Amino acid sequence: MSVSNALAAVPRFRACIGLGGNLGDVRAHVRAALEGLSALPGTTLEGVSSLYQTKPVEATGPDYLNAVAVVQTALGPRELLGALHALEAGCERERPYQNAPRTLDLDLLCHGDAVRQTPHLTVPHPRMSTRAFVLEPLVEVLDTLAPEPFSPLPRLPDAAARATLAREQGIVRLSESL
């Protein structure tokens, strides 16, 4: 039995992934990450938001470009996070200190209804509900997808709270798509 046939029988989960960066050719890095996500075993890219430009939040350096991708995956949260770190490394991501400027940042925002808190993995992402650069693209892409009853998403702030965060954090939706 081939790996792809074996993975066809494995349950799938909807996972949301934050993409961003503020060093180098971020657009190229994000596109490479999307290609890498599509190539992961047992994983299908369901949707991608527009690009958003944001001021650094709890970080320094130039403005960030951010987006959110949604995948259906047979990979577990730990395996998917490992794959995300490998994609970051492929774009020369360095981690000299927490919240350092970066070529590519891939955050596992949620993985089905999984709730995990370990030293290396926390899902749902603990700060996603306070960051406009996650919420705005997440809501945008989810609005284009059919609901997934077996992979419910974490509760998100309402539209008024998201608008306040977007205004306070200076997020701008760009007209280009990925």
- Per residue of the chain (178 residues), what is the pLDDT tens digit? 555 566 566 788 999 999 999 999 999 999 999 999 999 999 999 999 999 999 988 888 899 999 999 999 999 999 999 999 999 999 999 887 887 889 999 999 999 988 999 999 999 999 999 999 999 999 999 999 988 777 777 788 999 999 999 999 999 999 988 8
CB atoms within 10 A of CB 74: 19
Position of tokens 């991501």? 93
Distance CA 25, CA 30 (A): 9
Domain membership of residue 87 (yes or no) is: yes
Domain membership of residue 59 (yes or no) is: yes
Domain membership of residue 44 (yes or no) is: yes
Domain membership of residue 117 (yes or no) is: yes
In angstroms, what CA-CA distances link 116 with 12, 67, 93?
18, 23, 25
19: exposed, middle or buried (C-beta count within 10 Å: 0-12, 13-18, 19+)?
Answer: buried
**Whether 156 contacts 135, CB under 8 Å:** yes
Domain membership of residue 178 (yes or no) is: no
Whole-structure pTM value: 0.91
Q: What is the domain range of residue 167?
A: 3-173
What is the CATH classification number for the domain harbouring 39? Answer: 3.30.70.560
Domain membership of residue 131 (yes or no) is: yes
Give the number of domains in the chain. 1
**Whether 131 contacts 165, CB under 8 Å:** yes
Domain membership of residue 154 (yes or no) is: yes
